[in-house]
Structure 1
Amino acid sequence: MTSLADDMFAVAMDREPLFASLVGVPGWDDRLEDLSLDGDQAIRERLADVLRRAETSDEDPVTLAVIRHQAQAITNQIDARLVEHTVAEGLAAPLNKLLTEAPQVAMSQRVGQVPRFVGQVAARVRDSDRRPLRRHVQSTAARLEGFLGSPAQEWEGDSSSDIRTSIAAYRETLLDLGDLRDDDHAGLCWLPDGEQNYLNLVRDYTTTSRTPAELHQLGLDLIAALREEYAEIGSRLWGTRDVLAIFHRLRTELLWDNEEDMVASAVEAIARAEAEAPKWFGRMPKVGCEVKLVGEAERGTAPIAYYMQAPLDGSRPGVYWVNPLGVTERSRTQSETTAFHEGVPGHHYQTTLAAETELPNIRKYASIEAYLEGWGLYSERLADEMGLYSSDEQRLGMLSADAMRAGRLVVDTGLHAFGWSRQKAVDYLRENTVMPEPEIQSEIDRYIEVPGQALAYMVGRIEIQRLRAEAESRMDGRFDVKAFHDLVVGSGPVPLSTLDDLVTAWSGRF
């Protein structure tokens, strides 16, 4: 009989078989997920069984907390029916996710299932009482037109004709949709059951009981506090504490000349981080972190930057993907902070070191965003402690990234809980961050289509910093930062309350 942890992992991978292949877990290379209503119901029933068994399970408490979180979070995602109105965001919209990940995994055993998968996505969108934004339908239709007009890709194999016929039909389904939402009704609160669905997603993504109103205010407070840090560095670098003047210089100066320089800067930053890391971590990953440019066809819908985990067998390194969209309009000051977040000591160390443990797979690969993205954001500030930033210009980039994450608390809750228009969210980021226009537009579309996920970064970062500070105080001179970091990343993704228990128990032993 399989363990509860193994059963939960099997459900999660049946829901995300491409992820299993990306990280090299065998057993799912012949599958694509079933996105029909019946398929969702079958997954939901299995999750309900997992939650029932968890009530009397003898799994260890940490693993049990992860199992419960994952079972409830996937259930809430199914109930929110996001698949029915998520069409544009790169790794959230089902078809865009497939087209992004298919070239990265073995497809030969499942390529024949792609038309079925695409047909299910089309049916869910067509038959739903939830409609996507008009702008997202238009941008996706344009992207798919480009895909259909391009040569067949290697992964399509002999199924290329059927795949492209199904994608053309999906595109027509999108264009035939009536009653599309406009930009004034972008958030979940405008959809049936949207307010409750958002509350559930907020709880799942933050693993806390903070309300949307509390998170909104936290973001406003953090934005205000960051202005003092801008003034301090600005006075040192440019002789001015005028935050608006600093913002202006960051928006109009220090921009990239080309995408080659963008990649070179990321490579150099990661190399410096890898050289310094042994002073801050007791364990080092067995595989490295490579930097790659997002393909031209995916740049319009892919995130600005993201990390793809190395497979278990070490057959390729982890990959930090850099999206050069609007490169000459973007500040080069955020190059290093993003590399530290996505690569080293951020997601690359976090995911690779967890995967190399003997933990159950559900502990290695759980999708717990407050932990995962909290560590990524924590790593940006840790990099400053490590002496990794090459200049005050790059430290301003660190603050710019902080402001973006604080701004996310404001605009995500604004859109989905308080009914903000898309334009109001755009205006807020324009006024309170130094994000370039292409990035603002891309980020707002991401928040619209992945409700609640953007809240995880700052909530998780604040909690990891709090736990470290309390451990340092409790242990006094016995605190070992390397041991703290090994504990946090070596435990795998866990809810923040569970991480609190782990750190408290660890620091209390000394």
Structure 2
Amino acid sequence: MSLADEMFQAAMDYKPFRAAMFGVPGWDDKVDDLSVEGEQALRARVADILRRAETSDEDPVTLGVIRHQGQTIVDRIDARLVEHTVATGLGTPVNGLLMMASQVDVSQRVDKFARYVEQASQRVRDSDRRPLRRHLQAGAQRVESFLASPVQEWEGDHSAEIRTAVAGFRDVLNSIEDGRGDDKPGICWLPDGERNYANLARNYTTTSRTPDELHRLGLDLIASLREEYAEIGSRLWGTSDVPEIFHRLRTELLWDNEAEMVASAEEAIARAEAEAPKWFGRMPRVGCQVRLVDSAERATAPIAFYQPAPLNGTRPGTYWLNPLGATERSRTLSEVTAFHEAVPGHHYQLSIAAETDMHNMRRFAFIEAYLEGWGLYTERLADEMGLYSSDEQRLGMLGLDAMRAGRLVVDTGIHAFGWTRQQAVDYLRENTVMPEPEINSEIDRYIETPGQALAYMVGRLEIQRVRAEAETKMGERFDVRAFHDLVVGSGAVPLPTLEHIVTEWAASP
């Protein structure tokens, strides 16, 4: 068995639902082992693979992926995130399980759900790393709503034991009286917090940039985005006053109904697919559909997300839209989000990689700086491609840019510099057009997944940089279609590995 085989198996054992997301067979009857003993056994196994990778003659690209995926597992186990991640985000163990259960076939693993929830309860109950009080309350409310709901089809014959375990998790959350206050939301306030955050930041960005450097980068980007807002605002509304532009974006241009939101997404994707052959030499064989999130999951699901097509082709890739509160949301975010999540963003990226003959370690590696960096890159690429239908929609592009730049500032502020939760909320309120409910949900997400928010903008800037260097080096030989095929056809890789791939390509005759 190769090192790539070993690491792929370890990565899927660590997160079996990831195999389900991609339709990779072999893990359909498994769930995460959240016990301390289980995690430490997996950590030892991964550490052994990493030691052997140091002297391996595997090709450099595959080795780069192996090392990153292994270090990811080590860093996240060491940070003991399961012990203080309890609220309503996708990355929270119990809520994530309940959400995923309605989206994939869980019939072969549903008998293990109760034990999984019991393990989560034990880790939270016995930990010295207390969640925020507000997250304890939110998590308890979320599982209470599940317990109050009718039995769902996926629960099958295991409903009673699952709901008993979930009720036990709720009781654990309600029993913790010393949760952290909003004045100490960051991981820096927890044991080994500074070291863990540095490791997580390095892991999520795949770079050596320090929290201080990332914080300053975010501040600089926010300043430059204000100039773009002023330029488009002058053209569209005759004003360059950024606060006024922000106010109009928050209060005007809202959806009239859910159907309008879905139609806009479908039209944007169709337009992108028609233009894509000019920018990509290879398009995915599988299509992309737009669907609304199930009503039972709308209260906790993200606004939009992408689910790749399974390997067996039983359904297309799916761009999920959450219509909750549609009439209070700006329609300017419609096109940019569709380009990021669907075409030419995650749908092209994940589908094309899955259709290659690379090793599964390469096809299905989960490296956020590359994955989310590509999503952000395509938001700006869409403007190059002429896909935005109006300046209103270009303001939406700037709106998401500001959110991702703001993430660099507030994630490091919270976790490295000891910001209060209110400081982070105030920063996003002043420097983005995000509505208040979204600001609050985003801040809570950053608190519970330290470092993940750093991946987006760092990845985009690096893809833009290596493209610009290749264009300079190659001159008239540069083919943007070939560049895009190279980037998405290489699968998810750490950013230094991507630079190596593009540099070699640009130097070839």
Please list the CA deviations of residues 128-169 of structure 1 after superposition, one character each: whole Å capped at 9, or x if unmatched: 001111111111211211111111111111111111111111
Deviation at 1:95, TM superposition (A): 0.9
Residue 409 of structure 1 corresponds to which residue in structure 2? 408
Check conservation: 2:88, 2:142, Cα contact below 8 A: no
2:95–2:142 Cα contact (<8 Å) kept: no
1:263 positional shift:
1.5
Residue correspondence of structure 1 range 71-470 to structure 2 within 5 A:
71-470=70-469
Contact kept in structure 2, 1:265 and 1:336, CA below 8 Å: yes
3-state SS of paired residue (1:180): coil
Read off the aligned partner of 1:424 and give its amino acid letter.
Answer: Q
What is the CA deviation profile of residues 42-90 of structure 1, one whole-angstrom value per residue up to 9, with x for unaligned ones? 1101101111110221211100010001101110000000000001143
Give SS of 2:102's match.
Answer: helix
C-alpha RMSD of the superposition: 1.0
Corresponding residue of 2:493: 494
CA distance in 2, matches of 1:259, 1:449: 30
Q: Are positions 1:61 and 2:64 aligned together?
A: no
Aligned to 1:11: 10
The more displaced of 78-87 and 436-445 is 436-445
In 2, are the aligned partners of 1:112 and 1:159 still within 8 Å (CA)?
yes
1:84-128, Cα deviation, whole Å (9 max, x unpaired): 000114321011111111122222222111111110000000000
Identity, % of aligned positions? 73
Matched residue SS, 1:292? strand
Secondary structure at the aligned position of 2:183 is classed as helix
Amino acid at match of 2:111: G
1:387-440 deviations in Å (ceiling 9; x for gaps): 100000000100011000000000000000011111111110010000111211
Most deviating of 188-197 and 254-263: 254-263
What is the CA–CA distance in structure 1 between the aligned matches of 2:373 and 2:352, rounded to whole Å?
Answer: 16
Aligned-partner Cα distance in 2 for 1:423–1:291: 36
- How far the C-alpha of 1:244 sits from its partner, in A, is 1.4
Alpha-carbon displacement from aligned partner over 1:298-317 (angstroms, at most 9, x marks no partner): 23332222111111111111
Aligned mates of 2:136, 2:299 — CA distance in 1: 13
Q: Distance in 2 between matches of 1:423 and 1:325?
A: 25
- The whole-number CA distance in structure 2 between the counterparts of 1:292 and 1:437 is 26
CA contact (8 A) 2:88 2:139 kept: no
User: In the alignment, is the contact (CA less than 8 A) between 1:340 and 1:383 conserved in 2?
Assistant: yes
Separation of aligned partners in 1, 2:436 and 2:291: 23
Deviation at 1:260, TM superposition (A): 2.1
CA shift for structure 1 position 448: 0.6
Structure 1 range deviating more: 136-145 or 455-464: 136-145
The number of equivalent residue pairs is 509
Amino acid at match of 2:90: L
Inter-partner Cα distance in structure 2 for 1:172 and 1:490: 47
Residue 206 of structure 1, CA deviation: 0.5
Question: Please, which runs of 5 or more residues in structure 1 have no aligned partner?
Answer: none
In structure 2, how many angstroms separate the alpha carbons of the residues matched to 1:405 and 1:75?
A: 26
What are structure 2's unaligned runs of at least 5 residues? none
TM-score under structure 2 length normalisation: 0.98
What is the alpha-carbon distance in structure 2 between the residues aligned to residue 217 and residue 300 of structure 1? Answer: 34
CA contact 1:89–1:449 (8 Å) conserved in 2: no
Kindly state the Cα deviation for residue 336 of structure 1 after the two structures are TM-superposed. Answer: 0.4
Structure 2 residue identity aligned to 1:355: A
Q: Secondary structure at the match of 1:172?
A: helix
